[in-house]
Amino acid sequence: MCQPSGVPRPTRAELEAARSRTVPDVLPGPGDPPCSVLFCGINPGLVTALTGHHFGRPGNRFWPALHRAGFTPRLLRPAEQDDLPYLGLGVTNLVARATARADELTDDELRAGAHRLRKLVARVAPGWLAVVGITAYRVAFDGPRASVGPQDGTVGDSRVWLLPNPSGLNAHWQLPDLAAEFARLRAAATA
C-alpha cells in the first residue's frame, strides 16, 4: 500500500483490530442543503475502518473521481469527508462490517444491508442513491442484470445510479473512465 510521505503504514495487527470497527454515515444535517446524492459503498475496508474515513485507503479513486466529475470544488482527502454535507452529498455503506475485500461478505449480509439502506434513504430522501459496486448491488437488490448507469427502479422516492467500485482492486475501470461515469451522475443530479 502506497502511503503519503511521513505517514506510517498500518501494522497487520492494527488492520486486524479494525475488523471490529464501523464507520459512521456522513449525512446532511440541519442547515445543510438537501441531499442531492447519497453515495453508498459496499462496506468499509480495513484502512477505512482504522481511520474512520470513507474510501480511506490510499489509492482508492473515489475522492479523485468525485472531484474530476465536479462534485467537489477541489480534491478532498478522506479526512475531509465531513465537508460533503455542505455540498448536498452524503456517504454510507451497504454493510457496516469491515473486511479486507468485499468478496468476504455473504449474500445474506448484502440483502440485510439493502433493507437497512432502504430505511436510511426513506429518512434522508436523496435525489439519487449512487451505489458503488455492481456485483454487491446485483445481490443486495436482486438485480442480476444491473449495469453501470441509471437504474429503472427506485429506492423509496430516490432514483438509483450504479457506479463502478472505485477501489484500486477494480482494474477494469481507470480513473478517467470512473470520473466520466461520476460526471454523468452529476449531470443527472443537477438537471
Domains in the chain, ordered, with CATH?
33-190 (3.40.470.10)
Look up residue 62 and give its amino acid. F
Report the residue count for the chain. 191
Per-residue pLDDT of the chain (191 residues; tens, 9 = 90+): 444 545 578 888 888 888 878 899 999 999 999 999 999 999 999 999 999 999 998 889 999 999 999 999 999 999 999 999 999 999 999 999 999 888 899 999 999 999 999 999 999 999 999 999 999 999 999 999 999 999 999 999 999 999 998 886 777 889 999 999 999 999 999 98
Location of C-alpha cell 472505485: 166
- Cα separation, 48 vs 78, whole angstroms: 9
pLDDT of the residue at 158: 98
Return the bridge partners of 122, or none: none
Q: Looking at the DSSP assignment, which residues form a beta bridge with residue 128? A: 37, 159
- CA–CA distance, 53 with 30 (Å, rounded to integer): 22
CB contact set of 107 (below 8 Å; sequence gap of 6+): 139
Residue 90's pLDDT is 98
Whole-model pTM: value is 0.92
